[in-house]
A and B are shown apart, each in its own frame.
Chain A
């Protein structure tokens, strides 16, 4: 009895969380006031949490929530109008009652438009991303802290300060003009990528994969690429998401537990998505004239994994080189750790373990460390490799190539930015391993 009630409650809570984030974006546009819209959605979700366990989830939960939230917004405005000296004017009640959305000119999607709006240059870059993830994507401060590699307390403080500044300085929620979009692009890409990351590796441990967050991130990445097709960054983000998403069917077993990369059934990977991801990555690299950003490098790493016919056929030396490049432009603890994994595969587990000992401790705990233990099972697999590991890797690389893959492989422009001597990778390790 209790268990059944909990399940019903969980379903309701999940629907409210997912749909609430979507209707908030629409409501903010309608009322032009984030705080008012948040208050109204909050009241509507409370109403849903009260009603739905009894009545059941309505057939169109989003419409139910949107309608209720709109009524709640009108209620809030009326209540505030009754109090003297309040700033919210009664005129808006009338506007809301005749609920007609203004026409879309620049960005034809409520959520994407508001992400651009949230990414206001008067807020710090990290604050823009955190604010959009909280307000528009419905992530909790703990989830945001997880993807932005900070603490929940710091995220909460950041969000509080941001809201105070928005209110005190009257930062308007105005959709930016077309000319302003490009300047806001890095933060918008950060939001979309972080949303996907949050869905792909949820911190709360309930599920290893949040389908809604990942699907929404992919939808937004497609929209962003459509909106700004000439820009290299959205293409790279879309490529990265597709190349990661392509492997997701094999990432969980029937019990919902994570299957590590070396155990995954590569036949279940989405070959169409991989091909498209690589094509988009090539497109992005052409547009950026070989100056790779962090998304392109991460997409290139994902492409290397995605096109390997087997785990042992992975070109770890190339992946290690890409991680070196990634760390040189965007140092992070997770990339540092992933580089150790690549190095231990490219060379031997002992090298990896030595590098691991030199890594600085993670600022936010050991979650990522637990997800990728570097030397797991490698020792017994190592003897199966040919004495010259790179020979074996080349063979399987050509097994899995199509023309796009070849173009990616030969056209990777970052090669020139670093020394070209690839095979001596283990020799490079100690000097680059002790950053910070």
Chain B
């Protein structure tokens, strides 16, 4: 069965903030409703907690870390779900139930099957 990573792009919120509680509950409900298809999932801390890592030059070079997100955008990556679906249309039907689909956008990416 093909797998898809559904990446949620929404406002760069702190999910632990009290005002996010009701939306977070919607995501939990989504996970319950689609438990059969969800292989993994994660909710991310805001991009202000992100650290960008680069290695200068080539492998073995100096590790350079910088604070903050890779790029400032209106919608940030705020979470993901690894979905299992028969085909893209089924995956899209599941992803369309995510609150991010109307509060932002959900990117559905096919996962390369491991051997």
Contacts and interface: CB of A to CB of B under 8 A. Distances in A.
Judge: A and B partners, yes or no.
yes
Interface of A: 122, 168-172, 174
Interface in B71-99: 86-89, 92
Contacts of A174: 89
A363 to B, nearest CB: 31
A169 B86 CA distance: 10
Nearest to B89: A172
Interface string B20-39: 00000000000000000000
A171 B112 CA distance: 15
B87 A172 contact: yes
B110 interface: yes
Contacts of B2: 169-170
Contacts of B87: 170-172
A168 B110 contact: yes
Interface of B: 2, 4, 86-89, 92, 108, 110, 112
Given A169-B4, A171-B88, A172-B86, 10 more contacts: A122-B92, A169-B88, A169-B110, A170-B2, A170-B86, A170-B88, A171-B87, A171-B89, A172-B88, A174-B89
A240 B112 CA distance: 45
A174 B88 CA distance: 11
B4 to A, nearest CB: 8
Contacts of A171: 87-89
Contacts of B110: 168-170
A168 B4 CA distance: 10
22 contacts: A122-B88, A122-B92, A168-B110, A168-B112, A169-B2, A169-B4, A169-B88, A169-B108, A169-B110, A170-B2, A170-B86, A170-B87, A170-B88, A170-B110, A171-B87, A171-B88, A171-B89, A172-B86, A172-B87, A172-B88, A172-B89, A174-B89
Choose among A168, A169, A174 the residue with the greatest number of B CB atoms under 10 Å from its CB.
A169
Contacts of A168: 110, 112
A373 B87 CA distance: 51
Contacts of B89: 171-172, 174
Choose among B86, B108, B110, B112 the residue with the greatest number of A CB atoms under 10 Å from its CB.
B110
A169 B4 CA distance: 8
Contacts of A172: 86-89
Nearest to B1: A170
Nearest to A87: B113
Nearest to B92: A122
A122 B109 CA distance: 12
B82 to A, nearest CB: 15
Choose among A170, A171, A174 the residue with the greatest number of B CB atoms under 10 Å from its CB.
A170
B1 to A, nearest CB: 9
What 10 A-B pairs come out closest when comparing CB atoms? A172-B87, A170-B87, A169-B110, A168-B110, A169-B88, A170-B2, A171-B88, A170-B88, A172-B89, A122-B88
Contacts of A170: 2, 86-88, 110
A2 B58 CA distance: 62
A169 B92 CA distance: 11
A122 B4 CA distance: 14
A231 B86 CA distance: 33
A83 B21 CA distance: 52
A169 B110 CA distance: 5
Contacts of B4: 169
A174 B90 CA distance: 12
A128 B40 CA distance: 33
A168 B87 CA distance: 10
B61 to A, nearest CB: 33
A174 B87 CA distance: 11
Nearest to B2: A170
B108 to A, nearest CB: 8
Nearest to B3: A170
A406 to B, nearest CB: 49
A122 B95 CA distance: 14
A40 to B, nearest CB: 22
A122 B112 CA distance: 18
Choose among B88, B108, B110 the residue with the greatest number of A CB atoms under 10 Å from its CB.
B88
A170 B86 CA distance: 8
Contacts of A122: 88, 92
